[in-house]
Structure 1
Amino acid sequence: MKFVTYEFEGKESIGIMRGDKIVSIEDIANCMSWEEPKNMVELIEKYTEDMLDKVENILEKRGDFKLLSLDDVKIKAPIPYPKRNVLCLGKNYVEHAREIKITRIAGTGIPEEPIYFTKVASPAIGHEDEIKFSYEVTKQVDYEVELAIIIGKDGINIKKEDAEDYIFGYTIVNDVSARDLQGKHKQWFKGKSLDTFCPMGPCIVHKKDIPFPVELNIKCSVNGELRQNSNTKNLIFDIPYIISDLSKGMTLKAGDIICTGTPSGVGLGFEPIKVLKDGDTVECSIEKIGELVNKVKVI
């Protein structure tokens, strides 16, 4: 199942994509006599695996749900306002670790332990929204396509072999980054947390639709030029390791978003650096999830 947050006739709702149509969770909840979740995080917190199986079953058997066309709605980030900062990994693909040139932050070697940081998404922007920034703030804006894990239930000290039990699903995040701010401040938080710097979506794909271990083609193009092209099987620290390691002494909560790192081909890896410019189109895609497309607007 693919879960989406969307706006229709001025109202924000959540639903399930069926091809190029959407069934609202409100209609499904009413049909099942369940309490309607108000947003995606509440759905993740309240809907058990058994409940989701029942939803899938009723969608297959019934054909009388009202269907909304994707052309008639505005797709938003699946979780526009995360309850906590987005959790991220730096330098989690070997070739990306080698291409990084800002040595003042984390060096150019292959990390022996995961490099964690967080970024603000308030809100995360969605498919076809604009990445906006001012040259008065930054002149080196970069793209980073990443597979993001959506945590499905609270957990602490999770064993690697149990990691999949704590996953709800997966989405795409473009970890937009101001490289000059990263270098200036000698850390990653500020340069990755500017407004609109967290495109997310277009949907959350439930984990049942993506075999474990997760091995998905991951790509990013700018104005049609393929820049990043890899597979999530190339992660240095894989998903079970990430979830287990992050949860040591720290509770992961339902609805948490974990970005697993970006492959090589970012603008910073070119000589000279290929920065994003006004009017650029950035297309991030991950197999089985879809495409996340955003235009750049310099304000």
Structure 2
Amino acid sequence: MLTVPSSSSFQNTNSTASAIHNIALKESSSRPKLTATRSADRIVVESSSRSDALVPQLGAFRVPSDPQSKELYGAFNKELDSEFFAAVSTVRSTYFFDIGRGGGFLSIPHIGSHGSVATSFIARVVEHWLGDKLAGSADAEDFIPILEDGVDKSARSILQRLKNDLFSSSVTRTELRSFAKLSKVFVEVRAGHVFSLPKCCDDATVVQLGVEEFFQEYPLFVDMSVKVKPLGPNDPRTNNTQILLSFQNITMGDCDPFILFENIDHGLSLPNDFKKM
């Protein structure tokens, strides 16, 4: 992977202050058994132990799909964007690639990101997923990886990769502790052709790179943004972290993003001394 160095500044993105608390997480007294049932284009996660064990009980959907899903999606993002939660960490990078490079891509970080151990871990998961996707399609001349994959397939594979890495032996104690202290995680991934780049990127550092020679070498892109909100000092300790993952293929007529919402139970992988804290 080639990385273009970029200057970094540590600044918060200010937006209209709005404390949204209508998405609440309730921890079950015992680890619930979860089952997934499909209804139309939506998956609803149900608990067999307590009806309120995990709130909201929301699986996969498109935005807009139904009023409840759209409201939850909007509230989740407004909470992370609100200046009331100044502790939110953000990291964003745009990856440029072309087929036939054996998994190689060019990574350009955005100015203004202020990441953390948790955002770095999640961003690295997405980078590894991207590299594996490109390397696995290196010999496919008539197939464009990611852009010709279904958005639902791509979103699910990223989320599964995140969970696999989180519970693998490769995760460090520091990374696991950092993730366990998160209340909410939002991962937004958008893919497309470079000529669609201005639709999702307002960072002049990235958009103005569009010299003709560069676009000819790297005509496709994946834009990744990660926002995390840690537990507050008065928030109860929980074994669950809410994660919302959005994947959108901008090339396909600006179709609505595919959304996955899940509560990740990381309690079983935490060291015993951390659980007692």
TM-score (norm 1): 0.27
Structure with bigger helix share is 2
Name the one with the larger strand percent. Answer: 1
TM (normalized to structure 2)? 0.29
